[in-house]
Each structure stands twice: as C-alpha cells, then as structure tokens.
Structure 1
Amino acid sequence: MPLRDHHQIVSVDDHLIEHPRVWQDRLPEKFKERGPRIIEKDNKHIWVYDGDVYPTVGLNAVVGKPPEEWGLDPVRYEDMIPGCYDPAARIKDMDLDGIQAAMLFPSFPGFGGGVFFRAKDKELALAGVKAWNDYYSEEWCKPYPDRFIPLCIVPFWDIEETVREVHRCAAMGARTISFPDSPVPMGLPSFHNAHWEPLWNACEETGMVISLHFGSSAYVPGFSYSAMQAVPGQMSMPDAPFAVAITLFSTNLMWSTVDLLFSGVLQRHPKLRFSLAEGGIGWIPYILERSDFVWERHRHYMKNIDFHTRPSDLFREHIWGCFIDDVFGVKNLDLIGHNKAMLEIDYPHSDSLWPNSRKRAAEVLEDLPDDVVTKVTETNARELFNFPRIDGTTPGQ
C-alpha cells in the first residue's frame, strides 16, 4: 500500500546543529566566557567549552551533499544547509521531504548531554543543560508546535538535579528526556541499581518517555568517541575503518534492551516507556526470542530475575523501536508488533535519506495494510509522545 496524502510522517529521531550563540545568549554572565562558544581555527568553526576544544563533526551535517564529499573533519556553518541550524529553514526542508513533524536530538552536548557530564565544572554544566533545554523549547518547539516534538536533556550525574530538570521541562511541555543508552560506560550505576529510582518515579509522574539514542553513553563498539577523543577504558579497534562502528551502532540498543528487560525496573514502574532511537528494528525478534529462551531455562537459579513475567511481554508493554530503512524489520513486523515500530529520518546525518525520505518509506512499507502504515509513520509516535495533531483531524481519514 503506497503512502497516501493522509499518511503524515512523524520522525522520532532527527538532529539539530546548535547555532553559535545558544549558550552565550542564555548563560549567566559569570559563565559566558567559559561557556560553549564558536571560534575560528584553521578556517574551521570549532566549539570551545571551558578550555577544551570540540570539533563540529562534518558527518553530522551532510544532507544536501553527495557521499563522495562526506567526512569527519570539522566544518563551517556556511558548509551546512541552513536547515541544520535554522528552524524556519528546517520546516522548508521537512516540507520538501514530506515530513510533518520531528523530534530533534542535540549535537554539541552529545545525544544525551554527555559533554556536560564529562565537564570539570558541574555548576557550569548544569547551566549548560538548562540553556539547551530553553533554547530548543523557545526557538524550535514553541514557534512551530505542530512540527517539533519537545525533548530535553538532563544533568544525569546528579540525580536530584535530574529530577528537578525533568519536572521543569515537563512544565515547559517536554515529552521525553534523552538519556544515556547505558550509564555503565560512563562509570555510573547500571539500570539495575536503585540509584535511578527517583528518575523513574519522576518520568512516571510527568509522563516523560525515556529516549535512548545509540552512542549517547559515548560508547560505540569498534570506535572510541568522546568529542572525537578516546574514552579511557573503552574498547577500540584503531586499525578498523569507521564503517565497522557505523554497522554496529544498533548493538548499543540491543544491550540496553536486554539490560532493561532483566533489570526489574519495568515491573516496578508499569507506566515507564522507552524509545530506542536510531537502533533499527530487524534485530528485535531475535533478541526477544533469545531473552525468553534464557528466562525459561535459567531463571530458576537466579535470585534477581522475575519468575513470572516473560521478557518479551515486558518489551511489548514498555519499549518502542525506531528505524530509518529497515526492510528486514518491516517484513517481520508481525513478530515485533504493529504498535512498536516508529519511523525516523535522521536529518541532517549521513544515514538520512533526505530529500527522498517519503519516497523510500513508501517503498519499504508498500506491502503493509493501510492501517499499519498509519501506525508506523505517525500514530505510534503521536500516542507514545502525547503529540496529537493540533488541527483536530483523525489520522487515516
């Protein structure tokens, strides 16, 4: 069934490139000199934050360029199309691509705010987190309430401040927090640890979805990445091309999924919901089959495993998958669940199919019934993130 006019596409994973004055316009005066700002170096635009240098990675802003011109080198803002950093221009690019709405993850802070986690001055870092949340809300979401899904990052190194920021951002209209796909590589307690209980409680109280974007913990199998620098203690393969890491990106979220399914968190928090950003969906049937197999055979001698709830049942209650171009996953959607898959566009990153996203989605989804296409392209995302159409129309009509 081809995409029809009534099929609106809601992307649950896109990105923005922060303009140079995001923090200079919002930080308290005492922090501005050390806060994130853009400088020119070797004819490139470079972020400087509290004495450290953070390149603007070229691969994060390649839409509109042929693959032969892509690279990891830092770029200038003039090298990007304006839709990367300007919300009005982004709307035009979304219209060109046939995309109705999008949820945007950060760039400079890292997908989940890891740059601020690794910062030396945590008071400055907290101010940086709040400034980004205010910026995305004020400059993107409020002027275009039907086009951008409100998202926030949190100061997850401080659980009390994290809870406060969840409530503050929820009051501003945020629907989800971007959280590390696993806290463990960052030296923080795992999902199994009671340390995170106040966060889970806050997300249930506010209805916040927890978005886990691959690589948001700064761990990527096969590649050491932390502002393009090695992360101490992280496994890396220095002789391998970056293609190895790109291919293995979704394995981050396989780990996250299994960890959550066996953590006990989902049983204790029945309203908690997780979105697996940029993880694909083709692997989900196997992971659920394997998790159930292990649960059946091994739970009897383990004291910390739920004896009564199958992992696959927990997945279907609490976790949603996202994909860009996953033909295998779509063919196995019956095993995943028609309500559990959402489309993502990934603009302006290198996996994005812009400006042909809608055309490719029509090809990938062509064998699905009309009502399932509506769920995957739009309503699954609208229901999960509480982001209804504001014109009052009903999807599918």
Structure 2
Amino acid sequence: MPLQPWMKLISVDDHLIEHPMVWQDRLSARHRERAPRIVETPRDGLPAVQSWLYEDRPYPYIGLNAVAGKKPEEYGIDPVRYDEMIPGCYDPKARVADMDIDGVEAMMCFPSFPGFCGTVFMKGDDKELSLQCVQAYNDFVLDEWSAAAPGRLIPVVILPLWDAQLSVREIHRTAAKGAKAISFPDLPHALGLPSMHTDYWDPVLSAAEETGLPLCQHFGSGGATSVPQVASDAPFAVMINLMGANSMHATADWLFSPALHKHPKLKIGLSEGGIGWIPYIVQRADYVWRKHRSYQNINQDVKPSELFQKHFHGCFIEDDFGVDNRHAIGVDRITWECDYPHSDSFWPASRKRAAEAFANVPDDEVHKMVELNARRFYNLPDAAPAPRAATVS
C-alpha cells in the first residue's frame, strides 16, 4: 500500500548547524571572549575557512557532515564556510521550506558544534562558562530555532552532564519553556562519567520522568572512545557500518542496570541506531538473563524484553530488514527519521523513500511508525483525524 497523503511524517532524528551568534548574543559580557565564536583563517586564493573557537581551543568543523543538496559522489568534504551549505542547515525558516519540499511535517534536531549531547561544554575548563553555554544553546533552541515554526521544529535540549543537580534544574527549566526531549549520552562511562549501573543519574532520570521528557541517545554521543574500534588502516566505511553497535551496547547496558527498575516511567529513544538488530539483542538479553541471573547482582524478576517493550523505541532511515521484521520488534516501538542535513538522509526525496520502505505494510501500521508513535513518545499534539474511506451506498 502507498504512503497515504494524509499521513504526516515526523522525523525523530535530524541536526541543526548553529549560526555564528548563538552564544555571542546570549552570554554575559565577561564570558563572550572565551565563549564559542566563529573565527576566519585565510587560505591562499580561496575564501577564508570559518571555524569555532571556544576557550582558545579551535573546532575546525562548522557543519560536520552538512551535505544536504549534494550528490553522494560529492560527499567527503565537509563545509568550511556557511555559504558552502544550503540555508536550511542553519536557518529555521529555510529548514521548514526544505521540509515542505521533502514532505516532512516535523523534525527533532540535535546539536552540531556542542556534540550530539553537549559534550564539548562538559570538557570546558571554566564550568561557570560551560553552564552558561549549555543554557544559551537551550534558549536558542527553544526561543529562536523551534519558535520559528512551533509544532514543526521539535525542541531537544542538552544538559550540564558534569553535575547531576545542575542537570535536574536544567530539565525543569527547559521543560517549563516547552522542551520535548533531552539529548543524553549513549554510553556515559565512555566520557568518564558514572555509568548507568550507579545511582549518580537517579535524580536526572527522576526529573525526566516527572517532566515526561524522553532521553534521546544518539549513536556516537558517548564520544570518540565509544565508537566501534576498527583497524587504523580500515576505510571510514567500516566505522559507518558499525555505528549502530553503539545503540546495541547502550541497550544492553540499560537492560541489565537497576535504572529502569527504579524509574518505571522513563522513556528512551535510540536515535539513529537503526532497528533491524533489535530482535536479536533483546532475545539474547533474555537468554543471558535466564542462564546467568542467579549469580549476578541484576534484577531476578523482570525479563529484559519486558523492559524494552516498556521503555524503548528505535528509529530508522533505511532499514528494510527491520521493517520486514517489525512485529518481532513491536510496531509500537518504531519511529522514522530523516537525518537532514547528514549524508544518510534522502532529502529531498525522503517521502518517496519512505513510501518504498512501507510499500507492503498496512496503513494502520505505517501511520504508527511515521507519525503516531512519535506523537506518543514525545507528547506532541494530536493531528487532525485521518479521513475515513468513502462508503458506497
């Protein structure tokens, strides 16, 4: 069956490129000189390279993988100037226009310069400045980016991960302003933070429960040490192919931690992790639990598969195997993503590719995966009811 015209595509994983004044416009005067700002480096015979400077440390990529509008044959060179990107990367009104071209109703955008969950600021030397940078980013997302198109650009916020109590306050502050999700590291221990097997995160998880904000764990958000380890001489394609393994690792971590048992209302999104692997890793977790739980300090009563069905959802860009095996995953656990402006995106043909992916799927299941599940997970307003089929008298 085709993707029906009345179905609204909601993407739960996309990215924004921060414009040059995000922090300069929002930070106090005494912090601006060390706050993130754009600097230009001359090149012989070419326009200057633009890059971020934060606390005297250079960050060379202003638009990591911001290649929307290019052909696959042109991938591989990231933009070094804003005028090398299409405006939809950094301008919210242009983004909405690009969404209209693509047939996408709404999208959730993760940060670029700060890292997918704000880890750049966690590594800052001046933690007062770091906190201001986190808050400035969130205010930008809430007051400028998402405010440009309410209901269409869904606000995802970041946390001061180095301090659990500050994170709790930021969750409540941003939830009151309309935040819909929290970007959270997929493997905190890989960043030198406490793992999910400790009680460090309990106040943060409780705050997420209280506000109803899901934790979005974008694959690779745990930092460079969390990505799959590949041979030094392997092509980058090997790492790209294995990135979903981060989401598998994160899922196993959660399923055998005490966190989900202490926080029964917690919602976790496995952002950009794919879905085809889910039946295996969940089945494997149940097997390990049955065979090995008696001698380990893990929950003895609840199967990991029950936890997965209660707390998690996955998403996909292209995962035909996952769609074919959707009932083993749970149709209610699957969402769709566009990944604009990254190289995995099909923009400006996302709706066309989604129609191909769902060609043999019943309408009611398609509607859940492209729209209704996202509305439920992220507490988004209901859309107008779908039209009823005409009856013949």
TM-score by length of 1: 0.94
Aligned mates of 1:395, 1:20 — CA distance in 2: 41
**What does residue range 267-306 of structure 1 map to in structure 2 within 5 Å?**
267-302=261-296, 304-306=297-299
Alignment map for 1:54-203 (pairs within 5 Å): 54-56=59-61, 59-203=64-208
Cα distance in 2 for partners of 1:332, 1:203 equals: 31
Q: What is aligned with 1:230? A: none
Deviation at 1:5, TM superposition (A): 1.2
- The 1:220/1:12 distance shift into structure 2, 3 A limit, reads farther
Tell me which moved more, 39-48 or 338-347.
39-48
The aligned residue for residue 328 of structure 1 is: 321
Q: Secondary structure at the match of 1:60?
A: coil
Q: 1:195 aligns to what SS in structure 2?
A: coil
Question: How many angstroms apart in 2 are the aligned matches of 1:111 and 1:121?
Answer: 20
* 2:335 aligned partner: 342
Shift in Å, 1:236: 5.8
Query: How many residues get paired?
Result: 383
Q: CA deviation at 1:345?
A: 0.3
Distance 1:221 1:142 in 2: 34
Alignment partners' CA distance in 2, 1:180 and 1:321 = 16
Distance 1:290 1:57, change over 3 A: farther
1:244 equivalent in structure 2: 238
- Secondary structure of the 1:134 match is helix
The sequence identity of aligned pairs, in percent, is 54
* Aligned residue type for 2:25: D
Q: Give the match for residue 19 of structure 1.
A: 19
The corresponding residue for 1:353 is 346
1:365 aligns with 2:358: yes
Contact kept? 2:11, 2:104, Cα under 8 Å: yes
Cα gap change, 1:58/1:198 in structure 2, threshold over 3 Å: closer, same or farther? closer
1:68 positional shift: 2.0
Tell me the CA shift for residue 237 of structure 1.
Answer: 3.4
Q: Does 1:319 align with 2:324?
A: no
User: d(CA) in 1 for partners of 2:275 and 2:253?
Assistant: 17
* Cα distance per residue 1:55-113 (max 9 Å; x no partner): 12655210101122222445110000000000110011000000000000000000000
CA contact (8 A) 1:220 1:245 kept: no
Question: How far is 1:388 from its partner?
Answer: 1.5
Q: Measure, in 2, the Cα distance between the counterparts of 1:3 and 1:14.
A: 21
Contact 1:374 1:396 in 2 (8 A): no
1:50 is aligned to 55
| Aligned equivalent of 2:391 | none
8 Å CA contact 1:342, 1:380 repeated in 2: yes
Tell me, yes or no, if the aligned pair for 2:230 and 2:238 is still in contact at 8 Å: no
Instruction: Give the TM-score normalised by structure 2.
Output: 0.95
CA distance in 1, matches of 2:258, 2:387: 37
Q: 1:132 to 1:59 in 2, by over 3 A?
A: closer
Contact 1:13 1:278 in 2 (8 A): yes
Cα distance in 1, alignment partners of residues 29 and 62 from structure 2: 28
2:157–2:183 contact (8 Å) kept in structure 1: yes
Mind listing any 5+ residue stretches in structure 2 that lack a counterpart? 389-393
After superposition, give the CA deviation of every residue in 1:150-197 in whole Å (9 maximum; x if it has no partner): 210000111110000000000001111101101111111100100111
5+ residue gaps, structure 1, are 224-234
